[in-house]
Amino acid sequence: MTKESVIELLTKKDAQKKKSRTPARLDFLQSATGAVLALFILFHLIFESSILLGKDSMYHLTKAFEAEFIIDGGEPLIITGLAFVVFMIFILHAAIAMRKFPASYSEYKSYKTHRELIQHSDTNLWFIQISSGFVMFFLGSIHLYIMMTQPQNIGPFASSDRIYSDVMWPMYLMLLVSVVLHAGVGIYRLIIKWGLLDGENPRANRIRSRAVVKGFVVFYLMIGLFSLGTYIKIGYEHRDDYGQKYTLEQK
């Protein structure tokens, strides 16, 4: 091969690379799966905090998800299906996000130096997001697998027994902090990246968006922590009857 033909080949390849839509498509897919998961988690933490209103409320909500209004006694397999779909989106989102992880120790070191040098708050947010994402990779998978395979064990007593007697509360505590931070930072970055709330004055709106997202993070952390505390309390009181399911006659 002559020098000229090698140059021609490389230039062609470069042009093809430039035309490739794959990075843009992956970027969009990452945003879209992230938005679906964030929306899911916002509703999830609210539904799950129904325990704060009492055991009956959580029981009725669980049964509603099992479609008790049309299927006598409810069907936990519906939860298996839902958890499976969420798990698939979760895996897809994580797989696409992996390309943003530092690929080597030297890459990580140069990022660290860059972070210390410029002290840019959005760079720090990126760090929060990859570390919380890393934690969720493991803990989210454990949780989703249990929800998928034991959907019949969801309810005021079954959930509390799992959290207290099966000592799942440390895992939930770490998962709660990671998911709320990850979703909060993710939503903020989506707003910025796609210019969703730019309006007339993007700079001022960016600061406003940041404050609103911070408020959401604190709110969701609070309801998550209070709910977890309530499950722990119920689990502690129920420890001698571990495994016994809740019925509406029991209080």
φ, ψ dihedrals at 243, nearest 5°: 95, -20
Asked if 109 touches ligand HEM (CB under 6 A), the answer is no
Q: Which of 94, 96, 97, 179 binds ligand HEM (CB under 6 A)?
A: 179
Least distance in angstroms from the C-beta of 139 to ligand HEM: 7
Q: Which of 155, 158, 141 minimizes the C-alpha distance to 58?
A: 155
Q: Is residue 62 within a helix (H) or strand (E), and if so which, with residue range?
A: helix 55-65
Asked if 94 touches ligand HEM (CB under 6 A), the answer is no
Q: Which of 34, 74, 133, 140 binds ligand HEM (CB under 6 A)?
A: 140
Q: Which of 96, 176, 185, 187 binds ligand HEM (CB under 6 A)?
A: 176
CA–CA dist 190, 195 (Å, integer): 8
Question: Across the chain, how many H-helices and E-strands are there?
Answer: 9, 0
Asked if 96 touches ligand HEM (CB under 6 A), the answer is no
Q: Tokens representing 8?
A: 């021609």
Task: Check if the beta carbon of residue 125 is closer than 8 Å to that of residue 182.
Answer: no
CA–CA dist 191, 186 (Å, integer): 9
Q: Which residue lies nearer to ligand HEM by CB, 175 or 185?
A: 175
Asked if 86 touches ligand HEM (CB under 6 A), the answer is yes
Asked if 30 touches ligand HEM (CB under 6 A), the answer is no
Provide the binding-site residues for ligand HEM, judged by CB under 6 A. Answer: 41, 44, 48, 79, 82-83, 86, 90, 136, 140, 143-144, 147, 154, 159, 162-163, 172, 175-176, 179, 224, 227-228
